[in-house]
Amino acid sequence: MSEREDRPVGKVFLVGAGPGDPRLLTLWADHLLKKADVIIYDRLVSEEILSLVPEGRKMVCVGKTPGGRGPSQEEINELLRREATEGRIVLRLKGGDPFLFGRGGEEAEYLARHGVDYEVVPGISSALAAPACAGIPVTHRGIGRSVAIVTGQTCDGDLEGVDWEGISRSCDTLVVLMGGTRMGEIVEKLVAGGRSPLEPAAAISWGSTGRQATVRTELGSLESKANEAGLTSPLLLVVGKVVELGQRLAWREKLPLHGKRVLTLRDPRQARSLCLKLADLGASVRNVPAVRMVEHWDPAQDRVVERIRDFDWAIFTSPNAVTFFLDRLMERGKDARDLGSCRIAAIGPGTGKALAARGLRADLIPENHTTQGLMEALTNVCLGGGHVLLCRSNLASPHLADFLRQRGAEVEEVHPYRTEIAHHPDASLIRSLKRSEVDVILFTSPSTVDGLLALLNRRKELLTGVVLGCIGPVTDKRAREWGLAVSFTAKDHSEDGLVEALLEHLKEAPGKTGGEGA
């Protein structure tokens, strides 16, 4: 066998991350985020997308800062080659599309020259996505039949290398990427090239994200109007008659949570559902895990599983309890059929949905989705002499078990998972709060409250002015025990109820932020 055949085989994927909204990732890109050993990403790849990467993966940021500091292209090329030749699956993650002003072609050339296997995964370019999210179709019958895409920033800083006159005269719609820092010069060159200073034009900042902001005006006044509006990079320009359609077709900035930067604190495996619901309403969502769910089993709990047919009732107090317990049931060679005639109680609709997803229907779900509500619902159930399985987190209070025993039930508890609370401060999150980059924080359990305070090194003053929402009264109580000023608490103690409560709070006090936070 040759030396080359002895070497481990790696591969580089040049992947487009899209314009920023994680919902605009391609299915293949989303799959590769979870499969890759190493993720090498640019500065403008959004935190929401990076949060999808599983823990334990090697993450390398190679994006240049606004001052130009960062690895050279030659260093990035060599990093890709080295990681792949050491046998790793390498994901080179770029904003937008890797072959549209992303230097993906240069990286592909380098890899091909050195015999490194690679694949290109196209992404949605902001050149199309940002105008679309601002209600501007870059082509439209009878108005714009051609479109040109040009960069407003070259590696040598020389705008003269672009044929501005030819581009100005040859297309109906012009999209200029990375045009914010030299907008005035670009406008001058377009006008000199034949575009009218009165032509409709737009500047779009952070297109497709919850931070999107758009200015529509005339080409000649575009720079001044964009500066007045405080638009910041990443920013692109659109010039052409199609811009006028944005007055009628704009949609993203009308979403009820547009402009709101929301922080969730869940375990990464269960964060996505809530994050997507918030993103669908226009929010910019970031999940920073304040808690993590870890499978936890011991021989005593496995003995309970072996006797699963002996129970009269099985009570689940969270969706996680359902997932981890039923997974263990399967691992032990059993399945839902082994619950036999056992009746099932779920603390709320979320837990009920988790059961339904596994082919089980809850016999009892209390109207009040709390431990107290569950105890009240069980008051009318004959438990005397019954054998009850109580499946819940290691952090759950003893009240429910005590209640069941007082009712004459024989109770066996299992904790199929442990809730581990964050212990160390998160410097990135602290910086975001210092810069007032978080508008809303949503607590989904008492442990997320504890975890957030750990992430902030107990600096409660960082939460001043932030809207704080709680999923239910138990979580509300924990937040107030910490001295936090809770802005609202959901009446329906579920994900949907929490989102609805946030919308209601913002409707009642649209200009109002959170309390003192301490």
As annotated, the active-site residues are 42, 64
Q: Are 418 and 393 in contact (CB under 8 A)?
A: yes
Sheet of 38-41, strands arranged across? 58-61, 38-41, 89-94, 11-16, 118-121
* DSSP codes of every residue in 441-483: EEE-SHHHHHHHHHHTTT-GGGGTT-EEEESSHHHHHHHHHTT
CB 70 within 8 A of CB 64: yes
Measured distance CA(253)–CA(133) in Å, rounded: 8
| Angle value at C-alpha 107, between 20 and 75, nearest 5 degrees | 95
Residues 6 or more apart whose CB falls under 8 angstroms from that of 383 comprise: 313, 404, 407, 408, 409
- Helix 268-280 to helix 495-508 angle (10° resolution) is 40
Q: Helix or strand or coil: residue 253?
A: helix
Tell me how far the alpha carbon of residue 165 is from its chain's centroid. 42
- Look-up: residue for tokens 């709101």? 260
